[in-house]
Amino acid sequence: MKIRLTLVVLCLLVSFGCRKTSPPAATVPSNAATPAAELSQSQGGTTPAPQARYFKGSIGTSLDLQMKLVRTGDQLSGNYFYEKIGTRIDVRGNVDKDGNLTLEEFDPSGKQTGVFKGIWQVDAADGLVTLAGNWSKPPSEKGSDKKTAFSIHEEPIAFTGDVELISKQIKERSKELNLEIAANYPQLTGGNNPNFEKFNQAARALVSKKVAGFKKDLQNDEGLEPLPDSMGSDLSVDYTVVLAQDDLVSIKFEVSSYYQGAAHPNSYSDVLNYDLKNGKQLKLADLFKPDTKFLPVIATYSIGDLKKQAKDKGLLDDQIESGAAPAAKNYLSWNITKKGLGINFDPYQVGPYAAGPQYVMVPYTILKDLINPEGPIAQFAK
């Protein structure tokens, strides 16, 4: 009996000693990343879902390009093309934990033809990515030490399936007439929505009309004496994708023209806001409840915001009051964003020409009681 009792006591002492010397379990902060989240698929963890991103930018000062990249974890794949050429070039590479980017490009035969090295940087405000660095020939080729800077910015494009937004161009040049035209416009490809072609027609027609008007104005000035090449007439139209998703596209066009002999160039903005769900171009009134006085609300906010900008930008109060007054003619250029309604004011509208175009973002929180609950921006105003 004494032997059995002694054994029990010994066991209890050993058990207590083992528990006492074991280290306490680690405490993981609630906001810390767990190791499983950082494992690659090959290590037994999970790989983030592939995400397609669309970029627009240039290599050097004149090689404008568009790029599509699919990111899976730290791996990248996709293609890009120069807007003047249109032939797609395959790329693949990676981004490390510090944002260092490497992208190698290949021709159709699989031969490497170049390499992008730079930084993958995410904007904290909108989550969009900027790629910047240098492009060069492959290390194995002669001249690989020569580098050309590139800068590429992500566009807010979120189509599903195989839908893409690509750039087309109307380009004309005449030494005899001493003129040059370069007008870009967006086009939707892929998908099976019949309204995509309606959007394409609207975008093409908008830019074609500007080209035709420019050429007509030149014909009206036939009596002018030809001036040196550096003083020739030119028209430039470019665009920015403000929003692009399956049911809605918002495009801002920047138009700049110069007629030989003029004192200065002319610049202004135009927009195309298109409802892909219903196949129609949107008017400002389409965003709001019928018979709602939305314009005074937008104007009041815009005037207040512009006056805050006035000191730094050289804007004039009287021009602000006039150019941003609640009149339809003052609010023809606007874009839809996920955060608010972007209002574009052209040079001379709210300040001297030298101040350039001005921009005001009217938050949906200001407009929420006026927005049509069945309209295209109701999804952003909740």
Report how far residue 227's alpha carbon sits from residue 233's, in angstroms, rounded to the nearest whole number. Answer: 9
Go through the domains of the chain in sequence order and give each one's CATH number: 51-155 (2.40.128.30), 164-282 (3.30.565.40), 287-367 (3.90.640.20)
Task: Give the model's pLDDT for residue 81.
Answer: 93
> Which two three-digit tokens encode residue 23?
């280290």
pTM summary value: 0.80
One digit per residue, pLDDT tens: the chain, 382 residues? 444 444 333 333 334 344 433 333 333 333 333 322 323 333 445 556 677 899 999 999 888 899 999 999 999 999 999 988 889 999 999 999 999 999 999 999 999 999 999 999 999 988 999 999 999 999 999 989 999 999 999 999 999 888 999 989 999 998 887 889 999 999 999 999 999 999 999 999 999 999 999 999 888 765 555 555 457 899 999 999 999 999 999 999 999 999 888 878 899 999 999 999 999 999 999 999 999 999 999 999 999 999 999 988 889 899 999 999 999 999 999 999 999 999 999 988 998 887 889 999 999 999 999 999 999 999 998 7
- Write 306-314 long-range contacts (CB < 8 A, 24+): 306/345, 306/350, 306/358, 306/360, 309/358, 310/351, 313/351, 313/355, 313/358, 314/351, 314/352, 314/354, 314/355
User: Do 88 and 80 touch, CB atoms closer than 8 A?
Assistant: yes
Contact assessment for residue 346 and residue 269, using Cβ atoms and an 8 Å cutoff: yes
Angstrom distance (rounded) from CA 141 to CA 165: 34
